[in-house]
Amino acid sequence: MKIIENRKVLLFGVGFLIIILLLFFGGYIIYQNYESDSIPSDGNNDNGENKKVEANYTEKLLLNITGPVDIVVGLSGELNSAKNLITASWGTMKIDSDNILITLEYGNHYDITLLGAGDGTMNLDIDFDTNEGLNSYSFRNVPITSNSNGIIYANAADCDVEILLNDKSGVKEDEIWLARSGETVYEADVEATNDWLNLDQGYED
């Protein structure tokens, strides 16, 4: 009888040990799955190795202009004009309905000139799509006449964008329109304009 009882105790002990092992390994598997699911997409993997997140930047300078203007873009003696719709090696320009769409390779110092082609207002949107992210600048209701000349200063993604607007007839003083990243402006910047006028110099055609 003692042998039978000892066997029962032994079997019970083995069974209890098996249950403990199953619970331990089951909990371990659940924990590993939880840890794997908890890793952020730009964090570390199970081996602690960094995962590189690829960012899809176009490295472009994009301009979208509406209004009675012609836009001339120059670089190293090569010109691209909305009137001629010439494709330059560093960018393209096309007309879509009433919009002038310009795509330029980012990183060059472009000469961007606007020429009034009638009376009205101009809207301008500028986007820098670079490894620093997307920086956008917008100008609305910029007054334009057939005597308007202007220079658009937009060459660096981390700088303000300015429009120096000049009236060839001399009837109207120069204006500086200034936008910071993410801004939409509806009027000339008074402080920047006064600073420019106090220099006693202007844009010459």
How do residues 77-110 score in pLDDT, each as one tens digit?
Answer: 777 777 766 667 788 888 877 789 988 888 888 9
Q: Which residues of 29-68 are buried (b: 16+ CB within 10 A; e: fewer)?
A: eeeeeeeeeeeeeeeeeeeeeeeeeeeeeeebbbbebebb
- The per-residue DSSP string of 112-171 comes to EEEEE-SSEEEEEEEEEEETTEEEEEEEEEEEE-TTEEEEEE---TTS-EEEEEEETTSS
Angle at 183 between CA 180 and CA 187, to 5 degrees: 90
Q: What is the pLDDT of residue 177?
A: 95
Mean per-residue pLDDT, 198-205:
58
Domain range summary for the chain, segments of one domain joined by +: 1-47, 60-198
For 13-28, what is each residue's pLDDT tens digit?
555 556 665 555 555 5
pLDDT of residue 34: 52
**Structure tokens of 70?**
């012609």
Higher pLDDT among residues 49 and 71, named by residue: 71
pLDDT at 94: 84
Q: Is the pTM of this model over 0.75?
A: no
pLDDT higher than 80, residue 190 = yes
Residue 84: strand, helix, or coil: coil
pLDDT band at 168 (very low <50, low <70, confident <90, very high): confident
pLDDT of 13: 53
Whether residue 165 contacts residue 177, with contact meaning beta carbons closer than 8 Å, is answered with: yes
Q: Using the predicted structure, report yes or no on whether residue 184 has a pLDDT greater than 60.
A: yes
26, 30, 33, 38 alpha-carbon torsion, rounded to 10°: -160
Confidence class of residue 64 from pLDDT cuts 50, 70 and 90? very high
pLDDT at 178 over 80: yes
Rounded Cα distance, 118 and 146, in Å = 4
